[in-house]
Amino acid sequence: MSISVKSFLLIVRQVIFIDSTGLNSLVAGMRDAHKAKGSFRICNLRPEAKLVSMIDMALKIFETEEEALNKLIPFYS
């Protein structure tokens, strides 16, 4: 049996640093999800990780899991 996953929610509340390799991996995940007509969401990123990596300039970051899921799965809440 094969399972196809098109949408991802990445919860990163314990991440304090994202280097360029990590950022490239996240962008690749977003690109792959988009190609599959899915979506790629990131939530709970700590403010210091945003400052170090400037990740919020490349990807849409949601403050909470609920906010990300509401955008990922309409009528989630």
Q: Which residue has the higher pLDDT, 76 or 20?
A: 20
Q: What does the pLDDT read at residue 23?
A: 84
Can you give the pTM of this predicted structure?
Answer: 0.72
Question: Domain spans of the chain?
Answer: 13-72
- CB of 9 closer than 8 Å to CB of 72: yes
Rounded Cα distance, 19 and 73, in Å: 30
> Higher pLDDT residue, 72 or 43?
43
Report the DSSP beta bridge partners of residue 10.
42
The half-sphere exposure of 20 on its side-chain side, counting CA atoms within 13 A, is 0
pLDDT at 43: 92
Q: What is the pLDDT of residue 14?
A: 92
Residue 63 has pLDDT above 80, yes or no: yes
The average pLDDT across 37-44 equals 89
Counting beta carbons within 10 angstroms of the beta carbon of residue 31, is it exposed (0 to 12), middle (13 to 18) or buried (19 or more)? exposed
